[in-house]
Structure 1
Amino acid sequence: MSQPLFYVLMAVGVVGLVLFPFIPYNTLGEDLKMVKDEGLTLIMVLSIVLALWTASVSIADEIEGRTALTLLSKPVGRRQFIFGKFLGILVPVAIMFIVLGAIFLASVSYKVVYDVRETGRPAASAAECLGEMRQIAPGLVLSFMEAVVLTAISVAISTRLPMMANLIICAAIYVLGHLVPILANSAVGKIEIVRFVANFLAAILPVLDHFNISAGISTGQPVPLVYLSWTALYCFLYCCVAMLVAMLLFEDRDLA
């Protein structure tokens, strides 16, 4: 949180979330769904950028600048160093999610009232506003899980590679993590080699599409608690694997 980037991204998020309800999307009554989708995407992207940047600065730069060597000369093991960095990175990410998430819920609630006022319909009830907020809350939880997974991957990469390489690789993982399931289920996925590559990437890369509820938003379907539980388990297991890889990569890293 001492980094200026945290406050810059927070300001961008606040401005965007406040403006979204007033933007005319011209979707014939579907503006609220657009606000939900854009708000979730904005919060998730800003949090991921913060996580990747912080991981690169706090791990890769400390290793290159030999600050990590000074820290590890104290009674702090390499595993504790990596795990502590991971938890330390998650703190500002969680704070950003809490602050922007609260503003986002208020923005969604106000959008319900705003649309009713613009169309001349009867005033929206508190139950209607609360229902829209309740529908979007699981999306915030899933978006946070996605940010946690990418944070764990970024920490592992930062133990060996500098900032720019870390950002590029994580950006590629983000794109592939959302693209692979779509590719496998498309007409192109019927081609044998494409199906093999898609299944191979799905086996080693996180399937980030699990954390996406755009389809649920467009259809108005709530996210079941069972789905949230299984996705949380998937997030936990993948983070454990990423942390194990990070510790193995950092164990024999020359810090001198």
Structure 2
Amino acid sequence: MFQRFWSIAKVSFLETVRQPIYGVLLITTAILMMMNVSLAAFTLEDDDKLLLDLGLSTLLLSGLFLAAFSAAGVLSREIENRTAVTVISKPVSRPLFMLGKFMGLSGAILLAQYLGLLMFILCQRHGVLQNTRDPWDMPVIVFGFGSVIGGLLAAAFANYFYGKDFPLSALTLVTPLLTVSVIVVGFFSEKWEVIHFGDNYVGGQVIIAAFFVLLINLMLEAVATAASTRCGQLATLLICVVFLGTAIVSDYTFGQREGLSSALYHVTPNVGPLWIVDGLTGASQEGFVPFSYVGWATLYALLITAGVLSIGVALFQRREVG
């Protein structure tokens, strides 16, 4: 059973990363991360905090669109094209098939979020240029751009001369190169002076905030997977947007009332506790997030994910695929 599960997950992962929309969203995320550095300068103050807000919001929106479009492409399209029945007709149960698809999709989105996090760290390290006389952070530009462009050129070379799959080759090359670049940049200042590793990087609390964004995207991925068992691409995206919007305003709408509102508050998913960016200022640690809070928040997100997936399995059980 586990062998079939991992086979489905592997195929789902490869299908997801090979979709054109996956690469388009990765490139869009990178461009938006770089644009955030300039956009955050249009403030009278708190530009570092705005850069942090924009960076985490970019990660959240990237995960939202990746979850909706990828889930629809991996699961909904297979159901509509009647290719899912080929697998289900074999000794593979529907819950196993759907969970395998979810696991493969999770791996692809986790990889995209990891790459987005690396770009987020580099952009936070570069910081906002207050005026035209402020120097550019050359280590970030040299190593950041160099790793991405070098990986893409190498993938294009392998694709042209050896027939390798370009999206998969690009991810295989860019991911370790960008990781090494982030590590190397941590040892240099803006003026190429050797410093203690990580002195100019974001604090650990910012990484925790990015981890919470990943948990939100995990819930959105479960919603997208469940919705794609019955809906197409556009409807899946709409359901994900409604879910995220409801979860964001849950505290404000239902949290301070009684009666029916109180009951709705307890059954409505709430991502407010996972969005801790308001307690952070720039790259510093204004507040401290205890590990117990991280543990409970992670458990809450996993329970919501499991509950939504259970609904998706129930919907898929009665879906005609043949």
Question: Do both proteins adopt the same fold according to a TM-score greater than 0.5, normalized to the shorter chain?
Answer: yes
C-alpha distance in 2 between matches for 1:7 and 1:151: 18
User: With structure 2 as the length reference, what TM-score do the two structures score?
Assistant: 0.69
Q: Could you say which residue in structure 2 is the equivalent of 1:89?
A: 105
1:203 is the counterpart of 2:266: yes
Judging changes above 3 Å, is the alpha-carbon distance between structure 1 residues 162 and 15 closer, same or farther for their aligned structure 2 residues?
Answer: closer
1:36 corresponds in structure 2 to 52
Identity %: 24
User: Cα deviations across residues 110-134 of structure 1 (Å, max 9, x unaligned)?
Assistant: 217x569849xxx99866523x342
> Using the alignment, how far apart are the partners of 2:230 and 2:36 within structure 1?
40
Structure 2 unaligned blocks of 5 or more: 1-16, 136-188
The 2-side partners of 1:128 and 1:224 are apart by 22
Counterpart for residue 43 of structure 2: 26
Which residue, out of 52, 69, 88, partners 1:72?
Answer: 88
Partner secondary structure for residue 127 of structure 2 = helix
For residues 130-209 of structure 1, what are the structure 2 equivalents within 5 Å?
130=201, 132-185=202-255, 189-190=256-257, 196-197=260-261, 199-209=262-272
Check whether the contact 2:250–2:269 (CA below 8 A) recurs between aligned residues: no
Residues 158 and 166 of structure 1 are in contact (CA less than 8 Å); yes or no, is this contact kept in structure 2? yes
Does 2:306 align with 1:251? no
Q: Give the aligned residue type for 1:247.
A: V
For 1:61, give the aligned amino acid.
R
Query: Structure 1 length normalisation: TM-score?
Result: 0.85
What CA distance in whole angstroms lies between the structure 1 residues aligned with 2:130 and 2:293?
Answer: 31
Contact 1:216 1:223 in 2 (8 A): no
Deviations 1:22-60 (A, max 9, x none): 3322232x1111111100000111111111111112112
Note closer, same or farther for the CA distance 1:64–1:244 as it changes in structure 2 (3 Å cut). Answer: same
Matched-pair contact (CA < 8 Å) for 2:64–2:240: no
Look up the equivalent residue of 1:108 and give its one-letter code. Q
Aligned residues: 243
1:138 deviates by 0.6
Q: Which moved more, 1:92-101 or 1:243-252?
A: 243-252
Distance 1:214 1:63, change over 3 A: same
1:55/1:89 contact within 8 Å kept: yes
Structure with greater helix percent = 1
Unaligned regions of 5+ residues in structure 1, if any? Answer: none
| Maintained 8 Å contact 1:109/1:133 | no
**What corresponds to 1:231 in structure 2?**
297
- Distance in 1 between the 2:214 and 2:301 partners? 10
Aligned residues of 2:254 and 2:265 also touching (Cα < 8 A): no
Does the aligned pair in 2 maintain the 1:173–1:205 contact within 8 Å?
A: no
User: Counterparts of 1:110 and 1:82 in 2: how far apart (Å)?
Assistant: 42
1:205-245 per-position Cα deviation (integer Å, ceiling 9, x unaligned): 32111221122124832322221111110111111112222
Query: Residues 13 and 43 of structure 1 are in contact (CA less than 8 Å); yes or no, is this contact kept in structure 2?
Result: yes
Decide whether aligned partners of structure 1 residues 148 and 5 sit closer, same or farther in structure 2, where only a CA change above 3 A counts. same
Distance 1:165 1:19, change over 3 A: closer
